[in-house]
Homo-oligomer: A and B are copies of this chain.
């Protein structure tokens, strides 16, 4: 299969790290196509930024749909996810959504641990939007925003471990999700130190993308009832305009 890994942030190094982890999870028989936003923000951390980056992500998907089997929205927070699912005729997986749903299949209650208090509110929105807020045991973060987001996997390792243990022992989590792209890959490392199942969101997203294609291979029915009706538009990329307008592909 061919999976689009759509990073709606502008930081290419983040995309590269995620593609590497994704490739390892997917194995050599699947292709991971990494895409990095060419406008927007270096790193999204709020709903305002997510509003804008989500629109950009829709264009990134539309421009690269050809031959794709599934799409991974590769930012924890899943900008544009609901709209993409309406619009495109293939499975679209959100990194937060996939991690949350997977966690809910692995245990009863899950917590999210992340590297900055700034993300808490946005991540809680994700849990709420997923519908699984009643199975959430909360979000735990360090008290302050880190000086340098890029190195947190190393600089905050001990603190994140401690937070994960508290999520298990005090909040009752069976499963801990390490949220946020800068923590990609950390779950596997600290799992032995946490008395629970630890989930890496990018791994979850890849595994769920492969699963959903098995369950519901695209292209989905052209007459999907929930699809927006055809619309004219101004200022969208040609491929997105064409999809929004229900124009025949390659027209």
List A residues at the B interface (Cβ < 8 Å): 10, 25, 38-43, 45-52, 54-56, 58, 80, 82-87, 91, 93, 97-98, 101-102, 104-108, 118, 120-121, 130-132, 134-135, 145, 168-169, 172, 174, 191-192, 194-200, 203-204, 206-208, 210-212, 214-216, 220-221, 223-226, 228-229, 231-236, 244
Given known A-B contacts A105-B91, A106-B216, A235-B39, A47 and B86 have beta carbons under 8 A apart? yes
Given A45-B228, A106-B212, A121-B172, 11 further pairs, Cβ under 8 A: A39-B236, A41-B244, A85-B106, A101-B105, A102-B216, A105-B208, A196-B224, A197-B220, A197-B221, A199-B215, A207-B215
Shortest A21–chain B CB gap in Å is 11
Shortest A160–chain B CB gap in Å is 17
Given known A-B contacts A47-B86, A51-B80, A215 and B58 have beta carbons under 8 A apart? no
What residues of chain B lie closer than 8 Å to A82, measured between beta carbons? 47-48, 51, 108
A118 to B230 CA separation, bound complex (whole angstroms): 11
A225 to B87 CA separation, bound complex (whole angstroms): 35
Contact partner, A49, options B97, B134, B204, B228, Cβ 8 Å: B228
A47 to B86 CA separation, bound complex (whole angstroms): 8
Max count, chain B CB within 10 A of own CB: residue among A49, A120, A194, A204: A49
Instruction: Judge whether A84 and B226 touch: CB under 8 Å.
Output: no
Given known A-B contacts A106-B212, A195-B221, A199-B215, A58 and B54 have beta carbons under 8 A apart? no
Instruction: Judge whether B118 and A168 touch: CB under 8 Å.
Output: no
Given known A-B contacts A48-B58, A105-B98, A216 and B197 have beta carbons under 8 A apart? yes
Instruction: Judge whether B52 and A236 touch: CB under 8 Å.
Output: yes
Max count, chain B CB within 10 A of own CB: residue among A47, A220, A235: A47
Selected A-B contacts with CB under 8 Å, 14 pairs: A48-B228, A49-B83, A51-B58, A52-B58, A52-B83, A91-B105, A118-B228, A120-B172, A121-B172, A131-B135, A191-B221, A195-B224, A196-B225, A207-B212
